[in-house]
């Protein structure tokens, strides 16, 4: 899979406080061909976005990260809701 101009670790390490926003791709302009296989869609997306960890959405710089876990987003949201509910009882 292509990594663009930066290596994967360098992509993750981009500092959103110092990065030139104009150098980032606006995700709203990225179109992925859904007719491609999953692997090809991922490659297509990375090719178009440049850095999948740091990109723009309009005037905002977005940085995302991933953790190795088996927990789903639903699991995490459930935990957050329960924790928030318990904290409000105190």
Instruction: Report, as an integer, the average pLDDT of 76-83.
Output: 93
Instruction: Work out the number of other CB atoms within 10 angstroms of the CB of residue 54.
Output: 22
Residue of 86 and 40 predicted with greater confidence: 40
Residue 4 has pLDDT above 60, yes or no: no
Contact, 39 vs 46, CB < 8 A?
Answer: no
pLDDT in tens, 34-77: 999 999 999 999 999 999 999 999 999 999 987 889 998 899 99
């Amino acid at each position: 899979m292509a990594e663009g101009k930066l290596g994967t670790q360098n992509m993750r390490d981009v500092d959103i406080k110092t990065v030139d926003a104009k150098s980032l791709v606006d995700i709203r302009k990225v179109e992925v061909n859904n007719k491609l296989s999953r692997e090809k869609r991922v490659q297509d997306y990375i090719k178009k976005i440049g850095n999948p960890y740091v990109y723009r959405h309009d005037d905002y710089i977005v940085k995302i990260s991933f953790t190795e876990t088996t927990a789903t987003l639903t699991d995490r949201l459930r935990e957050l809701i329960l924790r928030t509910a318990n904290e409000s009882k105190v």
